[in-house]
Amino acid sequence: MTALRLGTRRSVLARTQSTHVAERLRRLGHRVELVEITTEGDLSDAPLTQIGGTGVFVSALRAALHSGRVDLAVHSLKDLPTAPDPALVVAAVPPREDSRDALVARDGLTLGQLRPGAVVGTGSPRRTAQLAALGLGLDVRPIRGNVDTRVGYVASGLLDAVVLARAGLARLGRLDVVTEVLDPIQVLPAPGQGALAVECRGDRPEVRAALAALDDPDTRVCVEAERSLLATLEAGCTAPVGALAEIVDGEDGLELFLRAFAGTADGEVALRRSLVGPLADPRALGAQLAQILLDDGAAGLEASSPTATQPSEPVS
């Protein structure tokens, strides 16, 4: 039996996620070989908004799929551009990890316990906008780096806290550093956060069939609503966006509850809207809620991209 060649980024987190997918495929009787791919996002320390957005983590993996170098690729779903590649398909969306953001703060502090002026690091304009909108007086600064680097900023006293995706910390076995998991009422996650996308070429039916066993229908429905919202908003605004879809009990059975955020980095504008709809058409629900946000002012919002920095002095 020919081994399935699984393309993965070289970061520790990416390899951990890809290994998880590989192990599930092996349990189903497939041979799997990991193939490391270096992406543009791995080579640059600049903010993602300056080097092309989240797609910089995906393009090299997709090129490897196109060329036949690999048979499948594993992405963090939040890194996957909403514009489809006509030659590729997301053959599986495995069960999602906890999608929420997590705070890692000095002295075990929670978000509400941080003093006004406390320096909080994050690489996400979405988190920056929502933290600013809370009105806590935090000094939110853009940073880049892997999980160990970011957590190290807190341990060394260079920052009071950092905000990271809980899913990444869970997959790395680092939940012990979390001082608070942020409620989506405070900070909505990125569309697709906590979920993985397993992508392959559309003209490889045998690979698609192998990957179909990994797909989780509930997770796919939720992320399709979130990504549809993001795709619609991207056509009309450049503001930071958060979104979370959940399956809930309705009067007539299960429904899809979608919440979304769009705002400005300084927190002066913070649009939060929600909508409930049928499970059968998650993309329509996402597009509808996005249009509500656009009609309510998101269309006029512009993103700002402060330069990511490496802290050099302890905070006072």
What residue segments make up the domains of the chain, in order of their start?
4-94+195-215, 101-181, 222-300
- What is the CATH number that goes with domain 101-181? 3.40.190.10
pTM, to two decimals:
0.90
The reply to whether 4-94+195-215 and 101-181 are identical in fold is yes
Cβ atoms of 78 and 57 within 8 Å: the answer is no
> What residue type is 224 in one-letter code?
E
pLDDT for 302 equals: 72
Give the model's pLDDT for residue 125.
94
Pure H helices in 98-247: 125-133, 147-155, 166-171, 205-212, 217-234
Residue recorded with tokens 């990994």: 214
Q: What is the pLDDT of residue 52?
A: 46
What pLDDT was estimated at residue 246?
98
Q: What is the pLDDT of residue 38?
A: 86
CATH 3.40.190.10 for domain 4-94+195-215, yes or no, is yes
Catalytic residue among 71, 79, 101, 160: 79
d(CA 208, CA 202): 8
Q: Which of 112, 126, 163, 141 is nearest to 261 (CA)?
A: 126
pLDDT at position 309: 57
pLDDT for the residue numbered 315: 60
203 is catalytic: no
Q: For the chain, list residues with pLDDT below 70.
A: 1, 39-56, 303-316
Domain 222-300, CATH homologous superfamily name and number: Porphobilinogen deaminase, C-terminal domain (3.30.160.40)
